[in-house]
Amino acid sequence: MKLMVTAATTLEIQPFLQFLDQHRPTLSAANCEIDILIAGIGMMHTAFSLGRHLILHKPDIAIQAGIAGTFRHDWELGQVVTVKREYLADLGAEDNDQFKDLFDIQLWQPSQTPFTGTCLENTFAGLPELPPLPIATGVSVNLVSGSEATIRKLVGKYDPDVESMEGAAFHYACLLENIPFLQLRSLSNYVEIRDKSKWKIPLAVKTLNEELVRTVQTLAGI
The tens digit of pLDDT for each residue in 52-91 reads 999 999 999 999 999 999 999 999 999 999 999 999 999 9
Peptide bond into 114 cis (omega under 30): yes
Side-chain half-sphere exposure of 208, counting CA atoms within 13 A: 30
List own/partner pairs for 28-33 with CB under 8 A and 24 or more apart: 30/220, 30/221, 30/222, 31/1, 32/1, 32/3, 32/216, 32/219, 32/220, 32/221, 32/222, 33/1, 33/2, 33/3
Q: What pLDDT band is residue 196 in, cutting at 50, 70 and 90?
A: confident
Domain around 6: 2-220
The tens digit of pLDDT for each residue in 82-121 reads 999 999 999 999 998 889 999 999 999 999 999 999 999 9
Three-state secondary structure readout of 50-70:
HHHHHHHCCCCEEEEEEEEEE
Say how far apart CA 10 and CA 201 lie, in whole Å: 14
Query: How far from 51 is each of 13, 71, 172, CA to CA, in Å?
Result: 21, 30, 11
Q: Give the pLDDT confidence score for residue 141 in this predicted structure.
A: 97
Say how far apart CA 195 and CA 167 lie, in whole Å: 23
Mean confidence (pLDDT) of the chain = 96
- Into how many domains does the chain fold? 1
Mean pLDDT of 170-199: 96
CATH number at residue 61: 3.40.50.1580
Cα(first)–Cα(last) distance of the chain, in Å? 13
Picking from 33, 36, 168, 197, the residue whose alpha carbon sits closest to that of residue 108 is 168
